[in-house]
Structure 1
Amino acid sequence: MKRIFLLLFAACWLMTLLFGGCAVTSKLERHQYTSVVAHTPRQMRERMKEQEREQDTTIYEMRGDSGSLFVANRRSMVIEDDGEAVALLRSREVSVIAKTRMLAERDGKIQIDFLITMPKELQGNVQSFVITPIMHRKEQNIELEPLQVRGGLFSKLQERNYWRYSKYQRRLVHRRKGNLSAADTLKLKEAFHRFVQFPYLDRSRFDSILDGKEKITYFYTQDVKVEEDDKRLYISLNGKVNALDGSSYDVPPNDTLQFNISSMLTFVLPITRYMTRIVEKFAVVNDRNYLTFKVNNAKIMDSLGNNAQNLAQIRELMHTLLYQHEFYVDSIVLTAASSPEGGFARNNRLARERAYALSTYLRQEFDFPELDTLLTVRWEGENWTDFKREVVRDDQIEHRDEILSLVKQIEDPDEREAAIRKEFGKDYRYIRDVIYPRLRVVDFKYNLRRVGMIKDTIHTTVVDTVYQRAVELLRKRHYEEASMLLMPYRDQNTAVALLSRGFNGAAREILFELPSSAQVEYLRAIVCSRLGEWKLGEQCFKKACELDDLLEYRANLDPEMSPYLHKQEKE
Structure 2
Amino acid sequence: MKITTLYIISLLFGIFSTQSNAQTYSNYGIKITETKAECTGNSLYITLDIDLSGIDIKSRDGLILTPIVHSKGQELELPLVFLSGKNKYKAIQRSETFGNQIPKPFFMIRIGKDTPRNIHYSYTLPYQPWMENSGIFLKEELSGCADCKKAEFIIQLLSQIRLPLEPPLVAYITPPVETVKSRKFEGKAYLDFPTGKSVVLPSFSKNPEELQKIRNMINEIKDNRYAAITSIDLTGFASPEGPSILNERLSKDRSFALQKYLQTNYNLNSGIFNVSWKGEDWEGLKKEIIASNSRYKEALLDIIDSSVTGSTKNAQIKNLFKGSDYRMLLDKYYTRLRRVEYTLNYTIKAFSVTEGIEILKTAPSQMSLNEMFLVANTYPTGSKEFNDVFDIAVHNYPLDPIANINAGAVEILKNNLSQAHRYLDKYTENPQAWNNLGVLYMMEGNYEKAERFFRKAYPVNKKEAAHNLKQLRYHKLMKK
TM range (shorter): 0.3 to 0.5
Could you tell me the TM-score, scaled by structure 1's length?
0.31
Between structure 1 and structure 2, the one with the greater Rg is: 2
Could you tell me the TM-score, scaled by structure 2's length?
0.36
